[in-house]
Amino acid sequence: MMLASQTFRSLRSRNARRFFVGLLVSNVGTWIQSTAMGLLVYDLTGKATDVGITLLAQFLPMLLLGVWAGALADRVDKRRMAMITQSVMGAQAVVLGVVSLAGVVELWVVYAAATVLGIAGALDNPARRGFVVELVEPADIPNVLALNTAVMTGSRIFGPAIAAALIDPLGAGWLFVVNGVTFLAILWPLATADVTDLHPSPPAARGGRPVREAIAFVARNPRLALLFTVFTVVGTFAFNYGVSLLKIADARFGDPKLFGWLLTVTSVGNLVGSLYTAGRVELRMRFFFVSLVVLGAAGIAVSWSPTVWVAFVAALPLGAAGAAVIASMNGLSQLETPPHMRGRILALGAVAFLGTTPIGSPITGWVADNVSAEWSLAYGSVVALVSAAAGAALHRRNVTGVGAQDPTSPAVVVDTPG
């Protein structure tokens, strides 16, 4: 009972409860569209590389605009900014659905829709996640961010499975329209939030060099610099499931629609990993590195599973570890960040994870088409294992070096492995 109370302590806020319910519904729709879009592109061309290019179009704006979007979010009302971006993403889904239902969808249309979605998403990410931080007292920030990860990743339990089950009888077009409608679920709690119960961060001062300031802040902090470096490398190569699992489903198990079910099972693990992280009273760097090891080992196990049922079993720790990596990264970085810079640091984290997709996804697609389906997932898993070993060694050296740790730092809870 105590663990459950700790895990869900942020939900004492009515604003948080309503927001997370809406976020869950909306993100189920988002994963329905994401899965349907991947299957549509693969059906049009039969190439994993083209699926990777679709993800490039969607996430390149995050790489190019993400940190600047974080600077903007630090200066404006995050709730209102999120309402605008969520509305644009909903409209994009409806338009893509109508075009698909009209029977005129082509590859370039999907690329264009993915680009619009990416621009809106790049602006939405720091605004929405910055608003999540404002839902609770500062002491509960790691918890609310972990619950946010649980909702975001847990929604994949339902979205991909729904897409896999309905894409044949309904077609991709109706699934896109359904996604557009689900955005109403998140717009309502944003529009009707009780602003008197929020804990808004002070707006950052105008002028100056906000992006450079954020990057310099990370560079000056040895823990943050190491955390962001490792997370960027792993995020680039180890999380391209939209390409690798789709190719494995087709080439290894003989049915592309198993992709949706592989994502669903991975997402069950995501939910477990996110909630486990949310229930921890303290977050330590050791937890981050151990999660990376599990992520790498599970990815290799999925890659060469002899049957799809074995792959389902291995996908559970793959999802749990992946969510733990993301949630612990967010929590650890926010513990080190002053309130006026939270939007920018959250944006830097999003760039490290999502903004690197334009690099990793085409590479993963090329590996899938030209090396093997198995190695399209396994090469990123090897990267995760090497990054965990190197990162843990560097962290241990930093905290045992002369003057490496300021005992007055609020991040004293993120001490050395061991």
CA dihedral 85, 90, 96, 97 (to 10 degrees): 180
Cα Rg of the chain (Å, integer):
20
105 in the Ramachandran plot: left (φ > 0), alpha (ψ -120 to 50) or beta?
Answer: beta
pLDDT at residue 48, as a whole number:
83
Q: Which residues contact 293 (CB under 8 A, 6 or more apart)?
A: 321, 384, 385, 388
Task: Round to whole Å and give the CA distance between 376 and 19.
Answer: 36
pLDDT at residue 319, as a whole number:
92
* 350 CB-side CA count, 13 A: 30
Q: Which residues contact 50 (CB under 8 A, 6 or more apart)?
A: 41, 42, 44, 107, 365
Task: Round to whole Å and give the CA distance between 50 and 48.
Answer: 5
pLDDT at residue 391, as a whole number:
93
Per-residue pLDDT of the chain (418 residues; tens, 9 = 90+): 444 556 777 788 888 889 999 999 999 999 899 889 988 888 888 888 888 888 888 888 887 887 778 778 878 888 999 999 999 999 999 999 999 999 888 899 999 999 999 999 989 988 888 888 888 887 777 788 778 877 887 777 788 888 888 888 898 999 999 999 999 999 999 999 888 888 777 666 665 566 677 788 888 888 889 999 999 999 899 998 888 998 999 999 998 888 888 988 998 898 888 888 877 767 788 999 999 999 999 999 999 999 999 999 999 999 999 989 988 888 888 777 777 777 778 777 777 777 677 788 889 989 999 999 999 999 999 999 999 999 999 988 877 654 444 433 434 333 333 3
Asked whether 24 and 158 are in contact (CB, 8 A), the reply is no
pLDDT at residue 206, as a whole number:
63
pLDDT at residue 3, as a whole number:
47
pLDDT at residue 208, as a whole number:
56
Domain formed by 10-198+208-402, architecture: Up-down Bundle (1.20)
